[in-house]
Amino acid sequence: MNVRERTQQIEKQTLSPYAALSRNTKGRDRPEEECELRTPYQRDRDRIIHCKAFRRLKRKTQVFLSPEGDHYRTRLTHTLEVAQIARTIARALRLNEDLTEAISLGHDLGHTPFGHAGERALNEILPGGFRHYEQSVRVVEKLEKNGAGLNLTKEVRDGILHHTHGQEAATLEGRIVRYADRIAYINHDIDDAERAGVLEESQIPKAITDLLGTSKSARINRLVNAVVDNSQDGQIRMDPECQEAFDELNTFMYQQVYYNPYAKGEEKKVPTLIEILFTYLKNPDHLPEDMKRIAEEEGCERAACDYLAGMTDHYAIRLFENIYIPEAWSHY
C-alpha cells in the first residue's frame, strides 16, 4: 500500500458517510496514472495553485479599484480566506477537506479585472453573456497549459461551476464553498470599507450585530458555527434565524458599500475601458498567439473575451494606455 492508498483508506475509515471519497471520484476527462503520494483531489489543488490564472489573482480587484494601501483584499487574498473558512467547515463535518480546498482555490480563476464591474461590462458586450463561474471552469478545462487545461476531476469542476448561483454543487464539499465564499466576502468587505472610510461598524443594524457579533472574527465564527451546527444530516445550511440575519447583512452591504458612489466612483470608467479593449482585441492580429488558436476554433469574440477576462487590473490599464495614449502624454 503506497501513501495515496493509505490516505484513501484513512478517508474511508474517518470521513462522514456523506463525504466525497477521493477513491470514488468520477475521474478526469483524460485518464491519468494515479500518483503514489497524492489523492486525485490533492493533485487538483496543487495544479490550481501552480497555474498562471491563480498567480494573476494577486492583482485583480476584489471591491475597491486600485486602492491606496497594502491591506485591502485582492481576488487572491479573498480566495485564500474562502479556502480557510471552507476547510474549517469541512473538517468539522468530517467531509473531504482536500476536495473543499481545491474547489475554493479554483472558484474565482475566471474572474475579470476590475471585480464585478468588469464582469458586468463583459456580460453586456459578449454574445450569450459572461459569468465568472463559467469562465473559471473554462480556464481549467481549456485555457491553462496552452489549451490542454488542467484536466481536473469532475467533482472539482462541478464545485467551481456551482459556487455562487443557480443549481447547487453535486457534492457537499462544493456546497460548503458557496457558503464560505459569502461568509468571507461580506465580512472582509466590511473590514475594507471601514479602512476606506465609507463604513463604520456602528452603522450595521443592531438587530444584525446582536445575533452575528460586532467584529469580523465574531461574525465569521458565528456564521461558521451556524453552518456546522445545522449540517449534520447530509445537508449544508444555517438555522433560519442566522440565515435571515446573514441575508440582511448582505442587503445592507449592497446599500452602503457595493452601490456606494464614493466607494465605487471609479467603476463608472470600467465599461468604456472594457468595451474599447474588447473591440480592439476582436481583431485577431491584436491577439497573442495562444489566443489566435481560440479565435480560429471559436471565433474572435470568444478569444477577445478569454484574453480580456484573464488580465489583471494593471495589465488592462497598461494595455489601454499603450494602444490609445500617445507616449509623450503618458509622462505628464
Q: Give the type of residue at 49.
A: I
Model confidence over 217-269: pLDDT tens digits? Answer: 999 999 999 999 999 899 999 999 999 999 999 999 999 988 877 666 778 89
Model confidence over 207-217: pLDDT tens digits? Answer: 999 999 999 99
> Which CATH number belongs to the domain containing residue 79 in this structure?
1.10.3210.10
Asked if the structure places residue 325 within a domain, the reply is no
Domain of residue 213, residue span: 3-319
Asked if the structure places residue 314 within a domain, the reply is yes
Q: Enter the C-alpha cell of residue 41.
A: 483531489
- The answer to whether 267 and 251 have CB atoms below 8 angstroms apart is no
Asked if the structure places residue 121 within a domain, the reply is yes
Asked if the structure places residue 36 within a domain, the reply is yes
Across residues 283-301, what is the average pLDDT? Answer: 95
Q: How many domains does the chain have?
A: 1
Closest CA to 204 of 239, 85, 220, 194: 194
Instruction: Provide the mean pLDDT of the chain.
Output: 94
- The answer to whether 195 and 71 have CB atoms below 8 angstroms apart is yes
The torsion of the CA quartet 173, 175, 176, 178, rounded to 10 degrees, works out to 130
Model confidence over 5-28: pLDDT tens digits? Answer: 999 999 999 999 999 999 999 999
Q: Give dist(CA 48, CA 150) in Å, integer.
A: 8
What's the pTM value of the predicted model, to 2 decimals?
0.95
Q: Is the predicted pLDDT of residue 151 greater than 80, yes or no?
A: yes
**Confidence class of residue 111 from pLDDT cuts 50, 70 and 90?**
very high
Q: What is the residue whose three cell numbers read 494573476?
A: 56
